[in-house]
Every structure is written in C-alpha cells, then in structure tokens.
Structure 1
C-alpha cells in the first residue's frame, strides 16, 4: 500500500505527500528494528537470569564440597603435626597410634580437588560469557578461572613425584595382614580377604634415625600445607562469587567461613 501511494504521489509530483510517506516508512522500519532489539535484549536477560541461577546453585554446592575438603585436610595436618615432635626427637620416644601411622603412610595421597562450575565452562566454550551484563560477577568469574588454572598446575606438579614412604622405606613401615576385629572402623581392607585387614606398623626409633625418610616426610607434609592453602583460597573465591550472585538474584547469601 505504501509503495502504491508513494508511486502515485511521485507521478502527481505531490512532494509533501511523498515526504510524509517517506517518514512513515523510515519510522516504521525504525520501530520494527527497535522492537526486534528489545525482544532480543529481553531474551538475553531471560537467558542471563537462567545462567546466573544455575551458576548460583553450582557455586553453593561446590562451596559445601570445599568446606568438607578443608576439614579433611586440616584434620590430616593436625594429626601429622602432633607426630612431628616425636619424629624429630623433640619429645620422648613413644609408639605411634594406628591413626598416626596411617596418616604417615598416606601422607603422599592427594585427591584432585573438585573445582568445576559446569555452567561457567559451558559459557566459555559456547561464547555465551558476554551474555552476562553484571561486570562485578564477570570479574569474579575471570578471577576464579585464573586461580583455578594456577591451582590445577600446582596439583599436577605436586603429584608428579610422589614419596610413598611405606614403599621407599619398608624397614621403617611394615605392612602386614591381620584379622579384622569386630567393630573396627576405617579399616584398610581392600583385597585383604574376608575377615582380614592390612595392618601398618611404624618403627619410630628407626624413623628418627633415618634422615632420608624425614626429608621425604617433610616434603609430603609441605605439599599437604600447600593443598590446604589452595583450598582456602578456592573457598574465598567461591564465597565472593556466591555473595555477588545472591545480591544479583535477590536471594539470601548462604556463604559462611569454614570452622
């Protein structure tokens, strides 16, 4: 209809009508583009809110995992530190408990710490990261990605050469097979046979006198300390992110420092 009217007005040289028709066309196109842009922006905000809601749920879950990881590492460190004065001849010689010996035997064991936020990795791999408009949240996410890269690199380095003390010093740590007593908890029973467990025996006197053993034990202990430090830093990053996400979504923050 506009084209026919415009053609008619051009033929009759009604320039005022031509100008009016031209303005109507331009305004119509402009309004159409504006509506399209508004609709796209609305879709992006809906998508952003969905992404942030998922990210918040994943952050809360990962925070809880980090708290559990930190408690486990801290308990392990406390037990090993209580053994240090005995191993380094700063306290009277005594027999180590099964728990103390067990932690020395496992001092080389480091689980890969959970650090994944699947929705973050999804946004990065699909290029949807820029759907997020909150620059504060985006900065927290960038900082977390950088930290995560450093922490993963450290884990790979820390586990590249493991000092399995019971294998390297069999004269100091003896592994035997013993009957499984009724009511025994946290027993080492993997492939030990029904009714049996693996038993650890630490010879403290020989440990004290073996400098190579002490050096490698301290190396394992130092790695444990570094793992605790990275877990604490990861927890701090996630707390900051969770707080920012809660504020954006208008929900109560659930972050709290581990005890």
Structure 2
C-alpha cells in the first residue's frame, strides 16, 4: 500500500507526499531493526541465564567433590595408620583385628582425585556462548576458576605413580577372594575375610620394606589431595556465590562463609 501511494505521489510530482511516505518507510525499517535487536537481546539474556544455572549445578557438584575428597583422605590416612601399626608391631595395632587389617590394606593406597566438572564451561567456549556473560568480573572469575582447576591436574600422574607403587608393593599378599572382600568393604570391616592367616600374612609382608616406605610416601599424597580438595570446595563456593548474585538469587550460607 505504501509503495502504491509513493508511486502515485511521484507520478503527480507531489514531493511533499513523497517525502512523508519515504519517512514512513525509513521509520518502519528502523523500528523493525530495533524490535529484532530487542528480541535478540532478550534471547541472549535467556541463554545467559540457562548457562549460568548450569554452571551453578556444576559448581555445586565441584564443592561436593571437594568435601568428599577431604573425607576420603581422612579415611585413607586412618587405614594406612592401621596397616603401619600392624606391620611395625607397635601398641597401636592391638585393636586391629583381621577384618580391619584386610579391609585397610588395599584402601590405604587409594587416591581420590578431586576433579572439577568443566563440561559446561568448555561448551561455552567452543560455541562462543561465553560472550553472553555481560558481567566482566564474573567472566574473569570463571576463567580464573577453570584455569586453576586445570593447572592443579599437572601433578595427577605423579600421585597415580605413588598409588601404583603401593599396589605393586602389596601384590600377592591377599588372595583374589580376600582382595575382592576387602574392596567390597570400602575401608570398613564387616564380617570376616575369607581364609585369612594373619601369621603367614605378617611373615610375608614384613619382608617387604617397600610397603612401609610407600605408605609413608602416600601420607604426603593424601595431604596434597586434602589441600586440593579443600581449595576446590572453597573456590567452587565462592564462584557459586558470584553466579547466584548475577542471577539475583540468595547466596547460601555455605557459600557466604567462604
């Protein structure tokens, strides 16, 4: 309709009408572009919120991973102390029965690596969605968090080597059935280990000084894992608090205390 009106105005050389029709056309185009821009901006904010909410879920998982890591190091250290006490024959071993000894032996060399879940962050980088985050400080905090999590993994192979060394040191001390029973206990003894002969076990184990050496070395490993786990929880809680603030959600007490 506007095009027809404009055509008639040109034919009749009604330049004022031409000008008015031209202004209407331009205004319509500008308004159309503006509406499209507003709609895209609204969609971007929706997408940003979805990604931030997913990051929040990942961070809550990371914080819990860290707390599990701390608890794991405490249990593994306790198991290592029980095995050391028995092998060294000191008074602390008096309360360590066969079940506790067998259950503790494989568990004493366990290493729980506190790994951060970076799946959402990697997706945001690969798809360019990181640009959706408007808060510059939050974007910087995200980069710092995931860079720190990645940097902490440079020691993982060394920690695994310590774990492998301990497993090599205890190889053959337990039968397949005893080892399977011990693994099922998760470091805590329930019932009796199948066919376990304590005297024969001690006679063989005490000919392997590498067991004690490895257990003492694993103590440093557990301290490293404890520190890594603590840092992961604290950093995850702090970043989660920033994201909650960006989302306009209340900060949880756990996050606020960090």
Which band: TM-score by shorter chain? 0.7 to 0.9
State how far apart, in whole Å, the 2-side matches of 1:237 and 1:115 are: 11
Which residue in the other structure is 1:122 paired with? Answer: 123
Structure 1 unaligned residues grouped into runs of 5+: none
State how far apart, in whole Å, the 2-side matches of 1:119 and 1:146 are: 14
Q: State whether residues 174 and 202 of structure 1, in contact with CA within 8 Å, keep that contact through their aligned partners in structure 2.
A: no
Counterparts in 2 of 1:221-232, with a 5 A limit? 221-232=219-230
Which residue in the other structure is 1:47 paired with? Answer: 47
State how far apart, in whole Å, the 2-side matches of 1:106 and 1:248 are: 42
Which residue in the other structure is 1:146 paired with? Answer: 147
Q: CA deviation at 1:164?
A: 3.8
Q: State whether residues 64 and 233 of structure 2, in contact with CA within 8 Å, keep that contact through their aligned partners in structure 1.
A: no
Counterparts in 2 of 1:1-259, with a 5 A limit? 1-77=1-77, 80=80, 93-94=90-91, 96=93, 97=96, 103=104, 105-160=106-161, 162-165=163-166, 167-168=168-169, 174-175=173-174, 186-187=188-189, 196=194, 210=209, 214-254=212-252, 256=254
Normalising by structure 2, what TM-score? 0.72
State how far apart, in whole Å, the 2-side matches of 1:59 and 1:166 are: 33
State how far apart, in whole Å, the 2-side matches of 1:29 and 1:199 are: 89
Q: CA deviation at 1:233?
A: 1.4
- Secondary structure of 2:163 counterpart: coil
State how far apart, in whole Å, the 2-side matches of 1:38 and 1:111 are: 48
State how far apart, in whole Å, the 1-side matches of 2:111 and 2:245 are: 35
Counterparts in 2 of 1:16 and 1:220: CA distance versus 1, 3 Å: same
CA deviations over 1:55-76 (Å, ceiling 9, x no partner): 3233223322321221221343
State how far apart, in whole Å, the 1-side matches of 2:104 and 2:51 are: 42
Structure 2 unaligned residues grouped into runs of 5+: none
Q: CA deviation at 1:213?
A: 5.1
Counterparts in 2 of 1:232 and 1:83: CA distance versus 1, 3 Å: same
Figure out how many residues of one structure are paired with residues of the other and give that number. Answer: 243
Normalising by structure 1, what TM-score? 0.72
More helix by share: 2
Q: CA deviation at 1:131?
A: 1.9
Q: State whether residues 65 and 229 of structure 2, in contact with CA within 8 Å, keep that contact through their aligned partners in structure 1.
A: no
